Amino acid sequence: MTAIKDAWEVLGGRPGLVSRVSAVVRPDVLDARLPVRELARACVGTCALAAAELGARRAGLAEVPAVTVDDGAVAAAFHSERLIQVDGRTPVAFAPLSRFWRTADGWVRTHANYPHHRARLLAVLGLPADASAEQAAARLAERSALETEEAVQDAGGLAVALRTPREWRAHPQAAEVAARPLVERAVLDTAPARVLPPVDRAAAPLLPAAGLRVLDLTRVLAGPVATRTLALLGADVLRLDAPWLPELPDLHADTGFGKRSATLDLAAGRDTLEELLSTADVVVTGYRPGALDRFGLAPRALAERHPGLVVAQVSAWGGYGPWAGRRGFDSLVQVATGIAVTEGAADRPGALPAQALDHGTGYLLAAAVLRALTEQSCDGGSRLVRLALTRTAHWLTTGIHPAVPDQGASYAGPDPWLTETDSPLGRLRHARPAVSFTDAPTGWARPATPWGADPAAWR
């Protein structure tokens, strides 16, 4: 439980509460050279403990409910976007141009799942919109990895050169990341203590976030995992997207559980945005640092207009250092930070057994929000919590030590932690929630709705 203890301490939790957490250890899940299983267990366990703590406070319980973390449930949850099926159809995890490529001097990985990212990559390579992977491979083989990284990033696309762990440690962005805590926390003002209405102490399930409104301005994958978790715990989550940037359908089906989905042009719909913010409790953003500031969504600007908010931010590279403004995804962070070298073979880079940086950061983000709400109910103040995939990667590679259990439970695959739900999108096969404590919810109140199908308004 060392990793859970470390994460809980970073979140400001009372150390004694870690004793409320127990684990069902399954040594054969999320197998990797790096301690991915321990990372995943710690992130989910910390989130469950934060939920149990808030639930106990709102229900007036004398003791925080006991938390159980089952490695099997955690492994299924960390693969949720791969396990989702819509009417029996299994999604494709990565588009043809989202992969590793050999370059003239090494390797580069690109991310082109979204049409606009694909278009920008092909434009840099001087290829037509219908270019094949073979044509892209031929162009990339003529370029250096770092040249490709810079050119594609400058064009608004996504490409990262493969670095060894030593090369990453020598990079100025790595130094900036290492200097920050796993979760950055700040009190932005002296807003009065939050008055949380009590929840029924005899209710099952216990919904720690019941009655709270969460405005979700995130995109795949860490942010939506966090807000999906808050929805599980009873929050009214409204996701907003730009009308011209639809989410990938299968990812929307997976991460949309419990939420409503609306579209809003933040520039033209500023009055609507302000109306939503006026009664929101939590705002979660997952865009590049600073990208939403022009809409009045910078943390201090939000706190000035709407005192008492919890503002939660997640990004790929962090809101600091030379890469602060870069786009990024889990797969690219693995490549930059040396994880792909550690998990690879002599002749080819590799990857973690799941998008563990995304999922782990998502559960930590939800935990940070829950802890901020608990602290607000005692001490007041608008709150900021901020996480980055690279900082989670730093924790994975330098701060977690793999445990070798004397024994563990068997694991025969994810089926025990899967279920099926009818939805407006079709029949969904999906992972059950991994967050578990006494009287915790065992499912979401509603499945995902079609992208953009709901009004931009609270219930």
Q: Whole-angstrom Cα distance, residue 326 to residue 316?
A: 8
State both tokens at 265: 């042009």
Q: Residue 422 catalytic?
A: no
Determine which one of 71, 281, 358, 439 is catalytic: 358
Q: Which tokens belong to 113? A: 């799942």
Do 44 and 431 touch, CB atoms closer than 8 A? no
Closest CA to 102 of 92, 110, 112: 110
Q: What is the pLDDT along the chain (459 residues), one digit of tens a residue?
A: 899 999 999 999 999 999 999 999 999 999 999 999 999 999 999 999 999 999 999 999 999 999 999 999 999 999 999 999 999 999 888 899 999 999 999 999 999 999 999 999 999 999 999 999 999 999 999 999 999 999 999 999 999 999 999 999 999 999 999 999 999 999 999 999 999 999 988 888 999 999 999 999 999 899 999 999 999 999 999 999 999 999 999 999 999 999 999 999 999 999 999 999 999 999 999 999 999 999 999 999 999 999 999 999 999 999 999 999 899 999 999 999 999 999 999 999 999 999 999 999 999 999 999 999 999 999 999 999 999 999 999 999 999 987 766 678 889 899 999 999 999 999 999 999 999 999 999 999 999 999 999 999 998
CB atoms within 10 A of CB 298: 17
Choose among 11, 396, 406, 385: nearest CA to 185: 385
Q: How far apart are CA 123 and CA 145, in angstroms?
A: 17
In which element (H, E) is residue 370 found? helix 356-379
Please give the structure tokens belonging to residue 140: 């990339």
Q: What is the DSSP letter of 14?
A: -
DSSP 397: I
pTM: 0.97
Does residue 412 contact residue 72 with C-beta atoms inside 8 Å? no
432: three-class secondary structure by DSSP? coil
Burial of 198 (0-12, 13-18, 19+ CB in 10 A): exposed
CB 271 within 8 A of CB 246: no
The closest alpha carbon to 100, from 278, 304, 401, 341, belongs to 341
Q: What span, in angstroms and rounded, lies between the C-alpha atoms of 255 and 430?
A: 10
Contact 40, 359 (CB under 8 A): yes
β-bridge mates for residue 214, sequence order: 237, 282
Q: In what order do the strands lie in the sheet with 184-187?
A: 184-187, 383-388, 310-315, 282-285, 213-217, 236-241, 259-263
